Amino acid sequence: MERMSGFSTADFPMRVVCVYDEASMRKVVLEALERVVPDIALVTCSSGDELLARLRELQPELILLDLKMKGKSGPDVIDALRARAEGKDIPIVFITAKTKIDMNDEYTNLGVIGVIHKPFDAVKLPETISDLWRAHLKEENAALPVAQDGIGH
């Protein structure tokens, strides 16, 4: 099994849920991440409703979310997540075939930390997610208050 060199648990969320209505895309994501990220707990859901029903059980650190699905769209799922205590702070990465979508204030305010455009290189997917995760953690840590002794709390 190939492992990503130089990856640590700080570089990658260890509980990831991929929500995509196409089984083939869920399989691509699952195989790309499991092949190279050691010890990842990766679960796939075929709909936003399935994610919401299993949210407490799954406790994701990161959600990879299809922007446009049958039933609830990505933004609809985010609205439902944010209405729940256990879902209000989970970072989200959109996966979409829409090439014109970029990060904007609306998505950033919803907790979307990035957009992965299809088609994407499955080999580079773990690195892309890692880059987004590290940037998110850096931003999150920068927002922590600093005590008078100079140590963030």
> Residue 127's domain spans which residues?
13-142
Write down the pLDDT at residue 2.
42
Is residue 3 in some structural domain? no
pLDDT at 28: 94
**Cβ-defined contacts of 129-138 (< 8 Å, 24+):** 129/12, 129/13, 129/16, 129/33, 129/62, 129/64, 129/93, 130/4, 130/7, 130/11, 130/12, 132/93, 133/11, 133/12, 133/13, 133/62, 133/91, 134/10, 134/11, 136/91, 137/10
The per-residue pLDDT for 102 is: 58
Residue 81 lies in a domain: yes
What's the average pLDDT block by block, 10 residues per block, for the chain (153 residues)? 51 92 94 86 95 96 92 91 93 82 68 89 93 89 61 50
Task: Please report whether residue 123 resides in a domain.
Answer: yes
The whole-number pLDDT of residue 83 equals 94
**In CATH, what number is assigned to the domain containing residue 71?**
3.40.50.2300
- What is the three-class DSSP state of 144? coil
Number of domains making up the chain: 1
pLDDT at position 107 is: 74
Is residue 75 a part of any domain in this protein?
A: yes
